[in-house]
Amino acid sequence: MRETGIIRRVDMLGRVVIPKEMRTILKIDFGDPLEIFADKDGIILKKHYPLAHLGSASKGACETLFKFTGHESAICDENVFVATAGKNAEKYSGKEISGSVSDLIKENKKYLTTFSGGGETLPLSGEEKDFFNQFFAPITVDGKAIGMIALLSDKPDRQISEQDAELCMLVSELIASAAQ
């Protein structure tokens, strides 16, 4: 553990205030769940990412989407890609999400871009734009997006259909219910 030089007192209800600087660095917002661990040296608080704990269920969801739509798929939480399927799967698995994808999660909204429609594709990780057609659906629990699920096509003529998008949104809802 690193020393910070910050000391806080425990109040009568056992609460401790986490300094704003630390919350900012760790991307902890009001209402975010924290995991509490104890070891021989003290207490460890860690931001809880429900999608990271779904493991094989997230991977299975991505593989099912890939199988039925033919589009690559990816699931991310607020930080990293937790599951991927398709030919570029390993390129993104475990990688940090881009600021653009992070913004979509914060805004809790769907996003569709197509090559023929002239929309702007979003980088998934870093600044690379590897896909011509993309559909993103938020994974929402209690009104707050906790992640995104994406369908991706690296071929300009391989559009994401309305049925593909609907299937993606259905899978998003199933993952959200499993994450609760």
pLDDT averaged over consecutive 10-residue blocks of the chain (180 residues)?
A: 80 91 84 84 79 77 94 91 87 88 93 84 82 93 90 91 95 87
The pLDDT value given to residue 149: 95
CATH number given to 1-48: 2.10.260.10
Task: Classify domain 51-179 at the CATH class level.
Answer: alpha beta
pTM recorded for the entire structure: 0.76
Sheet holding 72-76, edge to edge: 81-85, 72-76, 144-153, 133-141, 111-113
Element holding 100 (H helix, E strand): helix 99-107
The pLDDT value given to residue 1: 62
* Residue ranges of domains in the chain: 1-48, 51-179
The pLDDT value given to residue 78: 86
